[in-house]
A and B are shown apart, each in its own frame.
Chain A
Amino acid sequence: MKMLDQPLVVSGELSWLGGDRLERRVEHPNREVSTIADGQVSQEREGREPRRFSLKRAPQLQILLDSFVAMLGGDATRLEQAFAIQYSGDDARRWTLTLTPRDPKLVRTVSRIEIDGAGNEPHCMRMQEADGDLAVDLLGGLAAKMPAVPTRDALAALCRGG
């Protein structure tokens, strides 16, 4: 992230509650639960007032939601509608899916999402924001391998190699 000298690392659980609903539980460094449901995002933090805002105001989240729900639900049509998809695989076991948002307004905030995986399992999700910031999600077993002070290169290698 441009504003910061070092990357931010959080760990927790991301779960799909069915439909257009996602829940994100952060365990470390601070407990926090965020949910996306019915076009609303709510954020609850220990000892603070919950914060709510419309999904419309956070296009990045809309993209995240679209890609996750479509992928986890196996909804290829929906994925097709929201993104231009590019598939590349070195061999049958390893693959990378590059999703570029079709909505020109969204491209201005999120340039692309890359999902790395092997077999049936996604390992890693990288969201490249238009302002240069990069968000990397290590999924499943890979999450445990998150380095204490990660760099972009290390993470990219981890995603591709893990």
Chain B
Amino acid sequence: MLLAVWMVALAAIGAIVAQRLRVSTDLRSFMPAPATPDQRLMMEQVGEGPGSRLLLLAIAGKSDEQLAALSQQLTASLRKDERYSQALNGSFDIASLDEQLLPYRYLLSPTLDTQAMDAPFLRDELEQRLEDLSSPAAGLLKGLLPRDPTLEVLKLAERWTPPKSPEVREGVWFSPQDEALLLVQTRAAGFDPDAQAVAIDGIHKAFDALPGHEGATLKVSGPGYFSVVANAQTRGQAEWIGRISTVGFIVLLLLAYRSIGSLLLSALPIASAALAGIAALIVLFPQVHGITLAFGFTLLGVAQEYPIRVLSHRRAGENALQSVRDLWPLLLTAIASACIAYLAFYASGVNGLKQLAVFTITGLLVAGFSTRYLLPHLLPERVHDVAGMGWLVRARRWADALPRPRWIPVLVAVATVVMLVFARGAFWQNDLSALTPLPRDLLQEDARLREALGAPDVRYLLVMEARDEQGVLALSERLQSTADALVARHAVDAIELPSRYLPSEAVQRTRQQRLPDRATLERALAEAEQGMPFQAGLFAPFVADVQKARALPPLTAERFAMSPLGQRVSAMLMPRGDHWVGLGTLSGVHDVAALQALAHGSSGAVRLLDLKETAESMVVDYRTRILHALLAATLLLVVAITVALRSVRRAWHVLAPMTLATFLVLAVERVAGVEISLFHLVALILAAGLGLHYALFFERDTGDAAEQRRTLHATLVCVLSALLVFGMLAWSSIPVLRAIGLTVSLGVAFHFCLSILMAPHARQD
């Protein structure tokens, strides 16, 4: 009856969860909330900045001509697709300048800054055009001539080509390795692996739909692709490891309790815990992060201890309810202390970790209370008492007979301190990218394509701030000459400022005022044409465009954004609260100090943003907060255990081995050259939670040898199952999983050994 009710309740919660659960994959919810403006900007840039949304494509495996054709067709089909904001392949298309925007060329091009549109200027230009007509370029320019005899469109095209562009063959970009190169910008954020997977899949589908794609290969690289690969790899390995450990775990429990019924029943508290945890997340958060779920299930592994303890401590003929009642004070202490430890995550202020805390605390409480109040009613009356097993008797005798000199803890403590002091290398791992599980050759491939495409550096950005859009553009214009000087000094290969694409309104107006009125222009043109063979009236479209340009409202980013080129400007110019920010991209940074000096001279309006350094500073802030929270949790834990055991001395016997083992893990990892990351910290806390259980149960003095054996049995099952699950993770090639697996495995082993060796009453026996 109870079983049926329980199952129905679980199924109901399960159905609600399945219906309402919305999983997000944006990795940024596992990053700390940004505190400084730089950190805020970095978080945006990391996920949504133009650099992070850029995919680098290379098509290889056919003749140049065929590859160029594929490149053109792919670009054309991606430009029609909503999912991509930009697709470039190096072919300059005059059509990319919107027909409506064409008259703006006189406001955008710097020609008129140094030149008046008068007869001598026009004469010089027309003479050049005449030479052009008799030259190989004739066919190219003939169409432009009547409308644009000074070739402003070409001047703009030259100005706007990436400063370091790849070789153009057959009209499109090619790498030195004979691949056709393309740049595609996705609308999806770079660190949203699911959305990026859809975008990348779209590219492959478009490519496969092209006629003649057989035999050619398409390679994709870039931050978005990496997040997809990392996500798939982590998920793949976690699933594979999870499957093996689940099987191992089931085998272990069957060997330990020799009862399928007990095994199935003991799964109920855990299943309830997981479902209740997810339900709590759905209530409290709009979206649940995928990593929260993955880590949460791992952390919930602690809860498996509760039914294991109950099963191991069953006595022959004793009612299950009675065994649970005896164990409950200790179990409750264990549950409360684990919850206190996870509260530290809640205090970290990171959305993902908060979710993790809510999930595990809810899960642990539900698992604990269902083990106490529901499970015993279902367990069979007749059980196999583990205390009678021969091997267990011998094992307990051996463990009790171990020498327990008082100097062991002292020796371990001294060794720990020595190892921590003499460990080499940095203590903390601040570089988030060290945790990216990307194969080296992928990164090298990316570096090669990035170099070939002259794509901007993803690490540095030049940030300009002003009160409004025009202020930023004016600032960017003032910066241009200094930037040119830096490029000339080879401090950096190229600097791209927003004003390169869009001059400020003031500059546009100045240029506008320099444009001659119709009569003046016609007179100048007539004078220039004197004695030249151009037909009368040939340049009427030119005169018309100049007149149109005189009356245009200056081009703004908003208006410009309608054309493909304007998209680029929007990515470099954005409102932020009460002011505007402009971003300058840098390629090939050689001299960071020179760039910083550029920032210093601007009294705060311009600065160099080092995304890597900002991310690291954020990790440091993040860790400091977590460490503070942990310190508070530790104090709370000491108080809780002391109150629960009603004795400072007993609390000391529980907390001393746990603390010592935790620092021992840290010391061993440091000596082995491991730099400590946030994930190591999380794993240390998990291990400490397990260690606390061992110490609590070993410390318990029942005065009953059989009960002591049962304690050993329960602890052994717990230790072995933890070693099984986390030992598997330690073999993973993914740094995050490895960090957790290694730390928890070491922790479980140390906690077990130290809590047995430091257990007080064994010595008295």
Contacts and interface: CB of A to CB of B under 8 A. Distances in A.
A44 B68 CA distance: 27
A72 interface: no
B764 interface: no
B394 to A, nearest CB: 84
Residue among B136, B137, B538 with the highest chain A CB neighbour number at 10 A: B136
Contacts of A36: 136
Residue among B134, B168, B533 with the highest chain A CB neighbour number at 10 A: B134
Contact of B171 (A6, A43, A56, A60): A56
A8 interface: yes
A4 B539 CA distance: 12
Nearest to A38: B169
A34 B131 CA distance: 12
B133 interface: yes
Contact of B533 (A5, A38, A43, A45): A5
Contacts of A2: 535
B168 A54 contact: yes
Contact of A43 (B136, B169, B538): B136
A6 B169 contact: no
A68 to B, nearest CB: 12
Nearest to B171: A56
B140 A57 contact: yes
Contact of B136 (A6, A24, A109, A129): A24
A58 B131 contact: no
A32 B137 contact: no
Contacts of A59: 139
Nearest to B146: A3
A41 interface: yes
A41 B139 CA distance: 12
Given A3-B145, A8-B133, A32-B131, A60 B138 contact: yes
Nearest to B139: A60
A109 B130 CA distance: 20
B536 to A, nearest CB: 8
Contacts of B171: 54, 56-57
A58 B139 contact: yes
A39 B134 contact: no
Contacts of B138: 60
A3 B137 contact: no
B731 interface: no
Interface size class of B (residues with CB under 8 A): 20 to 34
Contacts of A34: 135-136
Nearest to A9: B134
14 contacts: A3-B146, A3-B538, A4-B534, A8-B533, A30-B131, A39-B170, A41-B136, A53-B137, A54-B170, A58-B136, A58-B137, A60-B138, A109-B139, A131-B142
Residue among B64, B133, B139, B533 with the highest chain A CB neighbour number at 10 A: B139
A6 B139 contact: no
Contacts of B538: 3
Given A5-B534, A54-B169, 7 more contacts: A1-B133, A4-B133, A8-B134, A26-B134, A26-B135, A40-B168, A51-B137
A156 interface: no
Contacts of B534: 3-5
Contact of B170 (A9, A51, A56, A61): A56
Interface in A24-52: 24, 26, 30, 32, 34, 36, 38-41, 43, 45, 48, 51
A4 B538 CA distance: 9
A2 B145 CA distance: 12
Interface in A55-71: 56-61
A10 B134 contact: yes
Contacts of A131: 142
B372 to A, nearest CB: 78
A5 B538 CA distance: 11
A8 B169 CA distance: 31
Contacts of B142: 3, 131, 133
Nearest to A57: B140
The 10 residue pairs across chains A and B that have the minimum distance between CB atoms: A56-B171, A4-B533, A60-B139, A6-B533, A8-B134, A10-B134, A54-B171, A5-B533, A34-B136, A58-B139
A53 B139 CA distance: 12
Interface string B530-542: 0001110010000
A77 B139 CA distance: 27
Contacts of B535: 2-5
Interface string B127-158: 01011011111111010011000000000000
Interface string B239-275: 0000000000000000000000000000000000000
Contacts of B128: 48
Contacts of B135: 26, 32, 34, 43
A3 to B, nearest CB: 6
Contacts of A24: 136
B133 A3 contact: yes
Contacts of A53: 137, 140
B97 to A, nearest CB: 16
